[in-house]
Amino acid sequence: MHVPQATKSQPSVIRIPDDEMTFTCTASGGPGGQNVNKRHTRVRLSFDVLQSSSLNLEQKTQILRHPKLQHLVHGDGIISIVTQSHRTQGQNKEAAVEQLHALLHEALKPTKERIPGGRPPGLKFPPSEHRKRQQRRAEAAERDRLRDGDSY
């Protein structure tokens, strides 16, 4: 079973058993020199969200609707992640699992409710009062200009 590493800022939330993940290995075009032609180091991790027994219905819905996962979800709720950045199959498998856990953690993170902010510090009056004040100042400036006999 792969268990995400817990950190101080991100406690581990989800535990996904190995039997719920499917790995497919193919030849990679990434780093590896001559080894790249002989070894199957590219790893495709497939995770069926809908069939997962480690997630409840609410979590499944939250994952499938998350905007950062939309491009990774294919067909009937299957998340597909491809990695080929490392030279070995084992390292690519670990990277794919870490990426899956990071994405699931991001998708299941509770969203903060927006707290409406106050008025900007430079705006001392309500917006309607501010507009009226600007208009009064513009009219006063125009009166002063006409009184002094200035013209454009």
Count, residues in the chain: 152
Q: How confident is the model at residue 11 (pLDDT cuts 50, 70, 90)?
A: very low
- 16 DSSP β-pair partners: 2
Check whether 149 has a pLDDT greater than 70: yes
Check whether 1 has a pLDDT greater than 70: no
Q: What is the pTM of this model?
A: 0.61
User: Please, are residues 49 and 77 in contact by the beta-carbon 8 Å criterion?
Assistant: yes
The predicted-structure confidence for 80-101, as pLDDT tens digits, reads as follows 999 888 888 899 999 999 999 8
Q: How far apart are the C-alpha atoms of 85 and 95, rounded to whole Å? A: 9
Domain locations along the chain: 18-108, 119-152
The predicted-structure confidence for 13-67, as pLDDT tens digits, reads as follows 577 888 889 898 888 765 556 666 677 888 999 999 888 888 889 888 888 888 8
- CATH code, residues 18-108: 3.30.160.20
User: Please, are residues 13 and 105 in contact by the beta-carbon 8 Å criterion?
Assistant: yes
Q: How far apart are the C-alpha atoms of 30 and 108, rounded to whole Å? A: 32
Identify the residue with better confidence: 146 or 8.
Answer: 146
